[in-house]
Structures are given as structure tokens and as C-alpha cells.
Amino acid sequence: MRTKFITLIFVLFSIASFAQIQTKQSSTIQQKQISENTVYQLFPTKNYWTFIKLDTRNGKMWQVHFTVKEDGGSGELILNSLPLVNKENEINGRFTLYPTENMYNFLLLDQIDGKVHQVQWSMEDKNRGVFSIK
């Protein structure tokens, strides 16, 4: 009897866990569908105070800082001021960012032609930018 009770608890726990995973996946898909029509998106970095703002139409990017202190350093730094596609090829949701294991680097994917760029953010100008991957 005890074995049946433990088996029943294990089965119910497994079903509940699977249901939670399915809910998380469907909400992620919903967020992706909504975000494909947006012009600008914010992508978090592993630094609490830093995000990357992406123009999803053309690949322009800014490093966004915020603070909770009055005398802090909030603002935006340019990562890429030049569009990566011509004006006539701009489409909402064309570009998206993917984080890497290195907290300062992301991969920028052109979802139409498949080109990939390395994006590196930094507080130092010389260590900040976008580089084509060939």
C-alpha cells in the first residue's frame, strides 16, 4: 500500500512539473510573437545596471545604463550608429540579440539573410562595438 502511495505522489509531481514547463514555453513563444513587430527592444546583460537597446529594423544599438542614485551615471552609449541594411530593406523584427557565456558579448542575428555580428559592450570606448563574423 505504501509503495502505491509513493508511486502516486511521484506521478502527480511529474505531471505538475511537466505542466509548468509547457506554460513557460508557450509564454515565451507569445513574447517572441509580440516582439517581432516592435521597432526597439531592450536586452538585459548580466550587469544589473546595463541593457542593450536594439533597433530591430536596421541593427543600430546603444548601451543603456541606469542607476538609483541621484548623482549616478544614467545614459546611453553608442554601440553601432550605422545601419546594417539599406533603408528599403528595414523590417521590424529583422534583427535580434542572443547572449553568450561572456557577459560583455552578444550575437546579433539578421533573421532574414542569416548574417551574424559580435556585439561587445563596455564602459571603455575602445572595448565597445559591433564586429562582423565571417
- In angstroms, the CA 9 to CA 7 distance is 5
**Cα 36–112–130 angle (5° rounding)?**
90
> In this predicted structure, which of 27-31, 48-52, 99-103, 123-127 has the lowest mean pLDDT?
27-31
Q: What confidence score (pLDDT) does residue 74 get? A: 85
Reported as a single tens digit per residue, the pLDDT across 35-60 is 567 899 999 999 989 999 999 999 99
Spans of all domains in the chain: 1-35, 36-132
Q: What confidence score (pLDDT) does residue 69 get? A: 77
What pTM does this model have?
A: 0.71
User: How many H-runs (helices) and E-runs (strands) does the chain carry?
Assistant: 1, 8
Q: Which of the pair, 21 or 132, is modelled with greater confidence? A: 132
Q: How many CA atoms lie within 13 A of 76 on its CB side?
A: 11
Listed in sequence order, the residues at least 6 apart from 77 whose beta carbon sits closer than 8 Å to its beta carbon are: 62, 63, 65, 123, 125, 128
